[in-house]
Structure 1
Amino acid sequence: MLVGCAVNASAGDIADKAAVTRPQPAAAATVASNRAWLAQLPFSDRQDFEDARRGFIADLDEPAIRAADGHIVWDRGAYAFEAADTAPDTVNPSLWRQAQLDNASGLFRVGERMYQVRGLDLSNMTIVEGDTGLIIIDPLLSAETAKAALELYWRHRPKKPVTTVIYTHSHVDHFGGVKGVISQADVDAGRVRVTAPEGFMEEAVSENVLAGNAMSRRAQYMYGALLPKSAQGQVDAGLGKGLSRGTVTLIAPTDSIAKPIETRRIDGVDIEFQLTPGTEAPAEMNMYFPQLHALCIAENAVHTQHNLLTLRGAKVRDAKQWSSYLGATLARYGDKTDVMIGQHHWPTWGRERVGRMLADQRDMYAYLNDQTLRLLNQGYTPMDIAEKLARLPEPLARQWYARDYYGSISHNVRAVYQRYLGFYDGNPANLNPLAPVETAKKTIAWMGGADAVLKRAREAYAQGDYRWVAQIGNQLVFADPGNRAARELQADALEQLGYASENSTWRNAYLTGAQELRGGVASMPRQGTASADIVGALTVPMFFDYLAVRLNADRAAGKTMAINWDFTDLHEKYAMTLENSALTYLPNSFHPQPSASVTLERATLTRIAAGLLKPADAIKSGALRVTGDPATLGALFGMLDSFAPSFNIVTPVAAP
């Protein structure tokens, strides 16, 4: 999950925005819906609460973790309102239960040699005690939270040095804090080894590059980053409380796991690695510790249904392959695992319970995949299938770890449809529809105008028909974004849908939409996971691909360029061509008659890409040497768009 989002609004900004949005109380229909959940699920089952607190040693002395500049990176105290056992009317009771479980925070003993720090970030940091040093698995999202986690461990355990870091997979919340526990100098000197699954580096930096700006903006909705922490705002993120807002770092692996099953002894600890590519992440692996009878399942099995397609956007994951790997894990390790840990949530103890959870999650992803394919082969469309498969089969539906706190049946089955058939549902009426604004204007006009539609929408709202009001309200707002009554009504409908949602990401999206309909889009700093370490890990082709995505076709129309790039430290050369408003390149090649030739080192490109150095200044300093037409490079960069981090979502995007 490269979650990279510009989420660093100050607490004051969020509080001011919350004051503007005036959240409404839960309506009668929402209250009734939420209370009905109490009879649908086994709330008397408290096993997860016992597991979440088992082995507790200590928590942080202070709930807030701060960065060097003083801003709060992580604040457990913001969720103190969740202490009440009974869910408020504005939160689905099932989601309230998950939020309370995710509040378990601190250092925990899992078993012999194995500890976890949980609740200090979205993910967990696992610490295994070797003979001479520490093996750290997944050093969280931010360097500040990872440092605090390690210091918490050291306050209660022997202060052994970190000798190995293991990344279970290529999502940033599992490696971004690495420089909080080790340094690049440690690695360069051979004091620390860093192990990751094959393909880690490419996947770690690639997923959010080409569509990164849009993903970051959408992630604000998914994680509720701009919402106040309250019973009428953000209460959880499904996998944990939310995202830390610290420094994202990266140190490249020194060792890769390349075989499907590979066993290594690391500082006296035997670890059997099981590669699981193409499951929850493109590069991922489980680990079995035979001496400890412990299985680290990475993020392949968590205490919720996961995403096949995240709401922030990503490539669709393969549910069938995910299921298959869980089955293989169960067959290989199920009968010899006394405790299963994940890099989110709390452990599961006991061979029977471990086996049951692995089998159930195996079946869950297989069910979603196969039943979607069954129905699409009968001609059903994505939303048809989402309605028909609204609930998992019993008894799976009543298992807490199969509930929709993060992924959901509704958007996961639509993801399966997309994976196999794409965006088009086969109906020619949907092949080339009008754009959203034009559709909205015509729809509202045909329905008798805004006043008539508002009247009927208010009647639907009074009847608790919030899904329909959200749909028709969206048409009203897109037809006339300045219609205050329409914005308020749609916001009210989205808010009620959020209050009733079991899914944390749906709740966050609904409530963020309501907030922005009422108060507008917050201005956000361009800050997130695009740190110097991440940008520095981009390959040259990745960087050139990103330039091509930013090329404004209108400004490039009719222009041609041939640019040779020579990276002296990498011994790499590229022939770049601009023609027909397309920017392409050919590796290991030079144009015989270029418009310009550019000579530089990789570090110079990193600084330019990170916005730390302007091309003109690089030329002036000699870090970037240009022969041929000196205006060529400036002209190229002048054709590139810069992406605004806070574009509209629930209202029309302004014309460029």
Structure 2
Amino acid sequence: MAASSLAIGLACAAQAQDATDTTQAVNDALLQYLPFDDESDFENAMRGQIATLDADQITAPDGTVIYDIAQFDFLQGDAPATANPSLWRQSRLNAVHGLFEVVEGSIYQVRGFDLAVMSFIRGDTGWIIVDPLTANETAAAGLQLLRDNVEDLPVTGVIFTHSHVDHFGGVKGITTPEEIDANGIPIVAPEGFFEEAVSENLIAGNTMSRRASYMYGNVVAKGPDGSLGSGLGTTTAAGEVTIVEPTLTIEQTPQTETIDGIEMVFLNTPGAEAPAELMFYIPKFKAMMQAEEINHTLHNLYTLRGAKVRSGDLFAKYINDTINRFGDEVEVSFGSHHWPTWGNDEILDLWKGQRDTYRYIHDETLRLANTGETMLEIAEQLELPDSLAQTFSNRGYYGSVSHNAKAQYQLYFGWFSGNPSELHELPPVEEGTKFVEYAGGAAAVIEKAQADYDAGEYRWVATALNHVVFAEPDNAEAKNLLADALTQMGYQAESGPWRNFYLSGAKELRDGIVEAATPATASPDIVRNLPLGTYLDYLAVRLNHPEAAGQEIALNFVMPDVGDEFEVTVTNGVMNYTLDSQGDEADATVTLDRTVLDSINLGQTTMMDAIADGSATVDGDAQKVEDFVGLLDTFEFWFNIVTP
């Protein structure tokens, strides 16, 4: 999940398209396979409901809509033909919203106000808040709902379970740095949290955020033939993202700490669902906070927005360790998404199913790879056994067996299958051009693709027409038929992100680029907390390396307000830097406050404007400074995805 801000514009309504007979048959088959008569998840999702907001929307003080609770009201009754019935069921569960009691008088949750869930634990003197959502506005609304309906107590602790923004971004909606300092409020987080949180998606952030606009369905309308949510939750809030530094770090497993009188046994679980993550057990309540290592869905071992591959082996080992430590006594298990599970037998069924699902995908991928099967071959044939696959909590609403198997292959073997024909393939435009030529021209491909579309062969139709679109991006007939195929694949998809990707691609083919409210990567609060080294790494990525080749630049930088200094060199077309250093042979020394550097990074000013207005000064060759700034690229967010 990437940080959230509001881009210009709104998504246009999706172009309606009926489900074909093939799509209806695929969805009907799943109705027969899964136990849809099991209503226990709906009972758990509604259990303990106390209240919800009177308003349909959470807004900023100026009236800007931060989160629209009513946008998923259409999720009622049985699934329409245009939706996978299993995803429709999961989306109905995710759309349940309000304040819920989890443990009588002691643990509460707010659900359905953002992508994630915010939990509250009653301490001796106040509320310990776990995972304060994505944005200040949604977190504040959730806390106020708790205070209005349970008890108006102060915040006496904050726990960030992991480094994804939907679990910390609303922290300044529930407390302030001044309150934290004055009252000694502990801010608990796993080892590495702060660095991972502020740098998440920065280096590759533009592409990650653009792809996130597909993954979370930001560019398509919500509705029976549009986005149903993400599978992991509903969708992201578009408010103010903030962060505070932890005061208590969890580095060990186990690590026992007492927060406002409540003893908690923490487990440090990095490298599975997030680079920095923790879970914790509360002996007093026999309650496990499972974070995002355990969910009511198969999670991602690779997220389609783009990120480092995750380890199914670690997922399975962390869950197994949890079973061994607390499985004999736990009575309630609640997490960062979805609804809780009550009862020891029910919890162990959930935990063991989740553990074995990740273990099966990881180990079977490796077994097949060691027999010589390639990534695509493994993903095509790997299926969970019925004992796992017929349990809703193991279904691929967010991750999928297919792309998770590919992720485990990539984790160990990378992108190359070993077949030398795939070692130096043509890029999409050149490959598409040759494909169309070999097939006898675009018209011939489209004619065959239409026949395959009529036969329900949507995957091959998409493959063939993708070549035509990259060879002839103005071919409207090819784009429209490809959009139709992607739409049917979206209607069949059980994974929320798969559905959103298919429908977003179809919309872009039909309508072109339509700017929308979508996750971005950097809020002012995040930027101001960037470690200097991370910021300079980002500058190094922005350097236009071919244009920099042949240039020699050496600059010193001094930031008086924070006492930092560093040197930057450009040689051989790359940028290098050294912190806490000043070069003797520098072309110039630039002096500016860190606050000015932050303003430059946020686009509020430029380096040259800062020099012109005196907020930055140059001692030496000012042309070298201008040359360096001129080599830094800016990235266009709304680039094409499904066309060249």
TM-score range, shorter-chain basis?
over 0.9
2:50 matched to 1:51?
no
The answer as to whether partners of 1:323 and 1:365 remain within 8 angstroms in 2 is yes
* Deviation of 1:376 (Å): 1.1
- Go from structure 1 to structure 2 and tell me whether the alpha carbon gap of 1:377 and 1:433 turns closer, same or farther (over 3 Å shift): same
2:578 matched to 1:579?
no
* Deviation of 1:538 (Å): 1.1
1:465 is matched by which residue type in structure 2?
E
SS where residue 288 of structure 1 aligns?
A: strand
2:149 matched to 1:150?
no
Aligned pairs (5 A) from 1:436-475: 436-475=428-467
2:222 matched to 1:226?
no
Aligned pairs (5 A) from 1:256-267: 256-267=249-260
Alpha-carbon distance in 2 for matches of 1:434, 1:493: 25
The answer as to whether partners of 2:6 and 2:518 remain within 8 angstroms in 1 is no
Alpha-carbon distance in 1 for matches of 2:19, 2:190: 47
Cα deviations by residue, 1:240-267 (Å, 9 ceiling, x for unpaired): 1111111111111122122221111111
Give the alignment partner of residue 119 of structure 1, picking from 98, 112, 122: 112
Moved more, 60-69 or 214-223: 60-69
**Partner of residue 601, structure 1:** 593
The answer as to whether partners of 1:248 and 1:529 remain within 8 angstroms in 2 is no
**Partner of residue 536, structure 1:** 528
* Deviation of 1:588 (Å): 3.0
Give the alignment partner of residue 263 of structure 2, picking from 255, 270, 274: 270
Alpha-carbon distance in 2 for matches of 1:101, 1:526: 23
Alpha-carbon distance in 1 for matches of 2:420, 2:276: 38
- Go from structure 1 to structure 2 and tell me whether the alpha carbon gap of 1:590 and 1:310 turns closer, same or farther (over 3 Å shift): same
Alpha-carbon distance in 2 for matches of 1:446, 1:454: 14
1:537 is matched by which residue type in structure 2?
N
1:202 is matched by which residue type in structure 2?
E
- Go from structure 1 to structure 2 and tell me whether the alpha carbon gap of 1:609 and 1:527 turns closer, same or farther (over 3 Å shift): farther
Give the alignment partner of residue 173 of structure 2, picking from 177, 180, 188: 180
Alpha-carbon distance in 2 for matches of 1:185, 1:386: 51
Alpha-carbon distance in 1 for matches of 2:304, 2:518: 21
RMSD: 1.5
Alpha-carbon distance in 2 for matches of 1:189, 1:631: 48
2:365 is matched by which residue type in structure 1?
T
Alpha-carbon distance in 1 for matches of 2:214, 2:34: 28
Alpha-carbon distance in 2 for matches of 1:472, 1:5: 36
- Go from structure 1 to structure 2 and tell me whether the alpha carbon gap of 1:524 and 1:79 turns closer, same or farther (over 3 Å shift): closer
Alpha-carbon distance in 2 for matches of 1:248, 1:262: 29
The answer as to whether partners of 1:7 and 1:225 remain within 8 angstroms in 2 is no
**Partner of residue 382, structure 1:** 375
Aligned pairs (5 A) from 1:35-50: 35-50=28-43
Alpha-carbon distance in 2 for matches of 1:9, 1:614: 22
- Go from structure 1 to structure 2 and tell me whether the alpha carbon gap of 1:374 and 1:290 turns closer, same or farther (over 3 Å shift): same
2:275 matched to 1:314?
no
SS where residue 235 of structure 2 aligns?
A: coil
1:256 is matched by which residue type in structure 2?
T
1:281 is matched by which residue type in structure 2?
A
Cα deviations by residue, 1:407-466 (Å, 9 ceiling, x for unpaired): 001000101111111111111111001110010011001101011111010000000001
Give the alignment partner of residue 545 of structure 2, picking from 535, 539, 553: 553
**Partner of residue 616, structure 1:** 608
The answer as to whether partners of 1:276 and 1:325 remain within 8 angstroms in 2 is yes
SS where residue 265 of structure 2 aligns?
A: strand
2:248 matched to 1:255?
yes
The answer as to whether partners of 1:7 and 1:220 remain within 8 angstroms in 2 is no
**Partner of residue 239, structure 1:** 232
1:175 is matched by which residue type in structure 2?
F
**Partner of residue 372, structure 1:** 365
SS where residue 91 of structure 2 aligns?
A: helix
Cα deviations by residue, 1:460-505 (Å, 9 ceiling, x for unpaired): 0000001111111111111101000000000000000000111111
The answer as to whether partners of 1:98 and 1:238 remain within 8 angstroms in 2 is yes
The answer as to whether partners of 2:131 and 2:336 remain within 8 angstroms in 1 is yes
SS where residue 73 of structure 1 aligns?
A: strand
**Partner of residue 423, structure 2:** 431
Alpha-carbon distance in 2 for matches of 1:283, 1:593: 40
2:475 matched to 1:490?
no
Alpha-carbon distance in 2 for matches of 1:621, 1:153: 48
**Partner of residue 208, structure 2:** 215
**Partner of residue 349, structure 1:** 342
The answer as to whether partners of 2:219 and 2:516 remain within 8 angstroms in 1 is no
1:565 is matched by which residue type in structure 2?
F
SS where residue 575 of structure 1 aligns?
A: strand
* Deviation of 1:569 (Å): 4.1
Alpha-carbon distance in 2 for matches of 1:22, 1:253: 46
- Go from structure 1 to structure 2 and tell me whether the alpha carbon gap of 1:257 and 1:398 turns closer, same or farther (over 3 Å shift): same
Give the alignment partner of residue 620 of structure 2, picking from 621, 628, 634: 628
* Deviation of 1:207 (Å): 2.5
TM-score (norm 1): 0.96
**Partner of residue 493, structure 2:** 501
Cα deviations by residue, 1:523-544 (Å, 9 ceiling, x for unpaired): 3589734111111121111111
SS where residue 81 of structure 1 aligns?
A: coil
Alpha-carbon distance in 2 for matches of 1:450, 1:180: 55
SS where residue 281 of structure 2 aligns?
A: strand
- Go from structure 1 to structure 2 and tell me whether the alpha carbon gap of 1:525 and 1:96 turns closer, same or farther (over 3 Å shift): closer
Cα deviations by residue, 1:12-56 (Å, 9 ceiling, x for unpaired): x32xx32xx533110111111111111100001111011000000
* Deviation of 1:587 (Å): 2.4
SS where residue 264 of structure 2 aligns?
A: strand
**Partner of residue 567, structure 1:** 559
**Partner of residue 4, structure 1:** 3
2:511 matched to 1:519?
yes
**Partner of residue 301, structure 1:** 294
Alpha-carbon distance in 1 for matches of 2:543, 2:170: 33
The answer as to whether partners of 1:7 and 1:226 remain within 8 angstroms in 2 is no
SS where residue 608 of structure 2 aligns?
A: helix
The answer as to whether partners of 2:3 and 2:241 remain within 8 angstroms in 1 is no
TM-score (norm 2): 0.98
**Partner of residue 635, structure 2:** 643
Alpha-carbon distance in 2 for matches of 1:429, 1:69: 58
* Deviation of 1:393 (Å): 1.1
Moved more, 293-302 or 254-263: 254-263
SS where residue 82 of structure 1 aligns?
A: coil
**Partner of residue 79, structure 2:** 87
Alpha-carbon distance in 1 for matches of 2:543, 2:235: 34
2:407 matched to 1:415?
yes
Alpha-carbon distance in 1 for matches of 2:329, 2:519: 45
2:195 is matched by which residue type in structure 1?
E
Structure 2 unmatched ranges of 5 or more: none
Moved more, 67-76 or 48-57: 67-76
* Deviation of 1:6 (Å): 6.1
**Partner of residue 194, structure 1:** 187
* Deviation of 1:361 (Å): 1.0
2:583 is matched by which residue type in structure 1?
H
* Deviation of 1:270 (Å): 1.0
Alpha-carbon distance in 1 for matches of 2:609, 2:330: 58
**Partner of residue 62, structure 1:** 55
Alpha-carbon distance in 1 for matches of 2:520, 2:446: 39
The answer as to whether partners of 2:4 and 2:239 remain within 8 angstroms in 1 is no
* Deviation of 1:614 (Å): 2.0
